[in-house]
Amino acid sequence: MTAAPARSLALPSAFLAAALSFPAAAQVGQKLATDRPNVTILATGGTIAGAQPKPGEVGYKAGSFSVESLIRAVPGMEKIAAVTGEQIANIGSQDMNDAVWLKLARRANELQKDPNVNGIVVTHGTDTMEETAYFLDLVVKGDKPVVLVGSMRPATAISADGPMNLYNATSVAASLAAWGRGVLVVMNDDIHYAREVTKSNTTSLQTFVSPDRGRAGAVLFGKPTFYAKPIERHTSGSTFAVPLPDKLPAVLVVYSHANAGRELVDAAVAAGAQGIVLAGVGDGNATAAIIDGLAAAARKGVVVVRSSRVGSGTVARNVELDDDKLGFVAGRDLEPGKARVLLQQALTKTRDVVQIQKYFDEY
Ligand code: DGL
């Protein structure tokens, strides 16, 4: 995957003046004397690096600016960390893919082992940020902070939210209190755990929420405060992906609704899916036609996980459906996109549904 050519950030003059007034030591890409934490920013694109054709106009292209431009656009960053940037990709996150995930995970694991690096920030689009965050939560081996950050407004917008989000994310990545908490997401002054966070609104600055267990903390003008630690296994405590595979198993999501037939289930099986996640109605339910299709898939060895489109709450085993008889896995409180991420990792280890249910009970 080669990053799209990025152009330098044509920021509003006030921002540009601030960015250019940085002391020389804050030049991006140089390792600074470590009188403060060293933070590496891995950039993948998204709106945080997005540009409108003309400031103030609707519409923009995600992934238009380089990581260097993003860093230069955040006045005062040098006070909280010595920052270096690397461009992993430069895409809208609706196009996020396994190749970028594996490249990102490999680089994050190298940085976990680098004694000169204290924390990692990943700039990313918000559309699939929660999925990438959870994937990294399962496969990054180390306790150093890994913090994903994006923005809901492009870098050229009036009151762009990216610079403050990036400043706050860098302060969290530089914080000793963030160590050992797993992968985090920082957006709009909130800190979220990768497993819990989800995008809840198509346009709001306050779109990221953690509906079942609440936020991991808050960060105000670069000062993080943390709440309760996560319960489930993650990062150093994860059994997955050492070493990382070259290819991730094919797992597809099937969405249920009134009057839904089994055709998409049958199509997923025909396409070679090793796993299928049901984005079910209510408590992970679906029409009889879909359940029949999923049961047939399970009999062919496809691993089926029941999740829910509802957005919060848990899908438990054997409530309205007999998972024991059908051979299904209950996805608990993982939303469908994250259930897919965990099922992918589980399938790198086994196809045994009893063991996979244990993974869903632990991660
Ligand atoms: N293209 C979408 C993405 O990269 C925009 C959303 C955003 O980054 O805020 O996820």
Protein residue whose Cα sits closest to atom 8 of ligand 1: 125
Asked if residue 156 belongs to a domain, the reply is yes
pTM exceeds 0.75: yes
**Mean pLDDT, the chain, integer:** 90
Q: Which is the catalytic residue, given 47, 84, 156, 235? A: 47
Asked if residue 2 belongs to a domain, the reply is no
Q: Is the dihedral of CA 192, 195, 200, 202 positive or negative?
A: positive
Q: How many domains does the chain have?
A: 2
User: Among the atoms of ligand 1, which is closest to the Cα of residue 45?
Assistant: 4
pLDDT classification of 281: cutoffs 50, 70, 90: very high
Of 351, 286, 354, the residue nearest 321 (C-alpha): 286
pLDDT classification of 360: cutoffs 50, 70, 90: very high
Asked if residue 349 belongs to a domain, the reply is yes
Q: What is the pLDDT of residue 19?
A: 37
Q: Which of 44, 60, 94 to probe ligand 1 with, by most ligand atoms within 8 A of CB?
A: 94
Residue 44 C-alpha to ligand 1 middle, in angstroms?
11
Q: What is the pLDDT of residue 10?
A: 43
196 in the same domain as 68: yes
pLDDT higher than threshold 50 for residue 17: no
Q: What is the pLDDT of residue 255?
A: 98
Phi and psi torsions of 175, nearest 5°: -90, 130
Average pLDDT of the segment spanning 259-288: 98
Poorest-pLDDT segment among 67-81, 102-116, 128-142: 67-81
pLDDT in tens, 295-327: 999 999 999 999 999 999 999 999 999 999 999
273 in the same domain as 143: no
Question: Structure tokens of 299?
Answer: 């009999």
User: Among the atoms of ligand 1, which is closest to the Cα of residue 92?
Assistant: 4
pLDDT classification of 22: cutoffs 50, 70, 90: very low
272 in the same domain as 232: no
Protein residue whose Cα sits closest to atom 3 of ligand 1: 125
355 in the same domain as 215: no
Percent of the chain with pLDDT over 70: 89
Residue 9 C-alpha to ligand 1 middle, in angstroms?
17
22-29, Cβ contacts within 8 angstroms, sequence gap of 24 or more = 22/72, 22/75, 22/78, 23/78, 25/78, 26/77, 26/78, 26/83, 28/67, 28/68, 28/71, 28/72, 28/83, 28/84, 28/85, 29/68, 29/84, 29/85
Q: Across-strand partners of 219?
A: 224
pLDDT in tens, 176-230: 999 999 999 999 999 999 999 999 999 999 999 999 999 999 999 999 999 999 9
CATH number of the domain encompassing residue 279: 3.40.50.40
Q: Are 130 and 197 in contact (CB under 8 A)?
A: yes
Q: What is the pLDDT of residue 34?
A: 58
CATH number of the domain encompassing residue 184: 3.40.50.1170
CA dist 248 to 107, 274, 347, Å? 17, 10, 9
Asked if residue 80 belongs to a domain, the reply is yes
Asked if residue 219 belongs to a domain, the reply is yes
Residue 129 C-alpha to ligand 1 middle, in angstroms?
9
Asked if residue 8 belongs to a domain, the reply is no
DSSP character string of 256-278: --TT--SHHHHHHHHTT-SEEEE
User: Among the atoms of ligand 1, which is closest to the Cα of residue 91?
Assistant: 4
355 in the same domain as 219: no
262 in the same domain as 192: no
Pairing of the two strands 275-280 and 251-255: parallel
22 in the same domain as 125: yes
208 in the same domain as 79: yes
pLDDT in tens, 25-82: 333 333 434 589 999 999 999 888 777 776 666 777 777 777 888 888 898 999 999 9
Residue 93 C-alpha to ligand 1 middle, in angstroms?
6
Residues 6+ apart with CB under 8 A from 243: none
266 in the same domain as 223: no
DSSP character string of 135-188: HHHHH--SSS-EEEE--SS-TTSTT-SHHHHHHHHHHHHT-GGGTTS--EEEET
Q: What is the pLDDT of residue 64?
A: 74
230 in the same domain as 299: no
Residue 167 C-alpha to ligand 1 middle, in angstroms?
19
Q: Which of 93, 161, 203 to probe ligand 1 with, by most ligand atoms within 8 A of CB?
A: 93
What is the spatial distance between Cα 93 and Cα 84, in angstroms, rounded to a whole number? Answer: 22
Angle subtended at Cα 30 by Cα 26 and Cα 33, rounded to the nearest 5 degrees: 75
Round the CA-based radius of gyration of the chain to a whole number and report it: 21
322 in the same domain as 229: no
User: Among the atoms of ligand 1, which is closest to the Cα of residue 153?
Assistant: 9
Asked if residue 70 belongs to a domain, the reply is yes
Q: How many CB atoms lie within 10 A of CB 140?
A: 26
pLDDT higher than threshold 80 for residue 167: yes
User: Among the atoms of ligand 1, which is closest to the Cα of residue 128?
Assistant: 10
Protein residue whose Cα sits closest to atom 1 of ligand 1: 92
Structural domain ending residue among the three candidates 192, 211, 237: 237
Of 298, 284, 286, 359, the residue nearest 327 (C-alpha): 298
pLDDT in tens, 226-257: 999 999 999 999 999 678 999 999 999 999 99
Asked if residue 224 belongs to a domain, the reply is yes
Provide the H-helix boundaries in the chain.
13-20, 67-72, 77-80, 98-113, 129-139, 162-173, 263-270, 288-299, 323-326, 336-347, 353-362
- For residue 338, the enclosing domain spans 251-362
268 in the same domain as 143: no
Query: Is 287 a catalytic site residue?
Result: no
**Ligand 1 cavity residues, CB under 6 Å:** 46-47, 62, 92-94, 125-127, 150-152
pLDDT higher than threshold 50 for residue 9: no
Residue 122 C-alpha to ligand 1 middle, in angstroms?
14
